[in-house]
Amino acid sequence: MSIRLATYNIHKFVGRDGKRNEERILKIIGAINADILALQEFVLKDQSGNIAMVEEFAGRAGYHCIAQPMKRRRGMVQFNVLLTRAPAHSNNLVTLPRDGFEPRGFITVKINADGQELQIAATHLGLNPAARTRQIKMIIELCAQPTEAPFALLGDLNTMFPWEAAKRFLGREFPDQKQPAAFPARLPLLALDSIYLRPARMIQSLRTFTEGAAHEGSDHLPLIADIALT
């Protein structure tokens, strides 16, 4: 059996045309057809922390929902959101060390997929390189012990360059797992978005998603991974 993981920074629902369009994002999510999908920069139209409205959006897309509200400056609430087709359990919302700009956090859950338990961590890391390293180390420490398998890390990790400390740390934790560039959507050059998996042998394919309106819906392209459950 295989399942599809995906991560997508939806840029507050604002596309390359400068317009907010929830229906466009819903269509892209439908085309991605993921079993587990992490969304970053999920911002409601009224910029509130109304989780019921996030759950209503998830229901329209056909998913269960775990939402982590993060209150930014000027009062805007930006969510980390994890959408799952199968109900999740052992849900936990964790606050990460601040990066000096805004709060960060991650969602961790366990999901039973056809009898195989899969642990997921979904996040959107900070812009400060030193803080980003602390954040990723905290996630791995809490979630990805070597005796626990399988484990998937999804999200916009904001890791830009192979020489930065966070990227080198990830390279040691997840050897030989290179991420395709998904930013900017028009001409992807940077691998800010990531899907890491332990054990790596479960990965069947890992690629950017370019179908339909994917180039227009956000400043990021979705990233998808098909994995084999053993």
**Digit-coded pLDDT (tens) for 124-179:** 998 889 999 999 999 999 986 655 668 999 999 999 888 899 999 999 999 999 99
Q: Which residues contact 46 (CB under 8 A, 6 or more apart)?
A: none
Q: Give mean pLDDT, residues 59-78.
A: 92
User: What SS3 class is residue 149?
Assistant: coil
CATH code for 2-228? Answer: 3.60.10.10
Q: Determine the average pLDDT of the residues in 25-48.
A: 97
- Count of other CB atoms within 10 angstroms of residue 162: 10
Which pLDDT belongs to residue 110?
93
Backbone angles phi, psi at 178, to 5 degrees: -85, 140
Q: Global pTM?
A: 0.96
Please report which helix (H) or strand (E) contains residue 56, including its range.
helix 51-61
Q: How far apart are CA 115 and CA 131, in angstroms?
A: 37
pLDDT over 90 (residue 58): yes
C-alpha to C-alpha distance for 120 and 17, rounded to whole angstroms: 33
Would strands 116-124 and 151-156 be described as parallel, antiparallel, or unpaired? parallel
Give the mean pLDDT of 87-91. Answer: 89
Annotated domain spans of the chain: 2-228
Q: What percent of the chain has pLDDT over 70?
A: 96
Question: In the structure encoding, which two tokens stand for residue 214, read together?
Answer: 């994917």
Report, in this order, helix, strand and coil percent for the chain, each rounded to 5: 25, 40, 35
**Residue 18, helix vs strand vs coil:** coil
Q: What span, in angstroms and rounded, lies between the C-alpha atoms of 94 and 68?
A: 9
pLDDT of residue 112 exceeding 90: no
Range 42-71 average pLDDT = 96
Given this model, what pLDDT does residue 144 score? 63
Predicted local distance difference test score (pLDDT) of residue 229: 82
Within 10 A of 220 (CB to CB), how many other CB atoms are there?
24
pLDDT for residue 89: 87
DSSP states of 99-126 as a string? -SSS-EEEEEEEEEETTEEEEEEEEE--
Please say if the pLDDT value at position 211 is more than 70: yes
Confidence band, pLDDT 50/70/90 cuts, at residue 1: confident
How many CB atoms sit inside 10 A of residue 180's CB? 15
pLDDT band at residue 120 using 50, 70 and 90 as cut-offs: very high
pLDDT at 62: 97
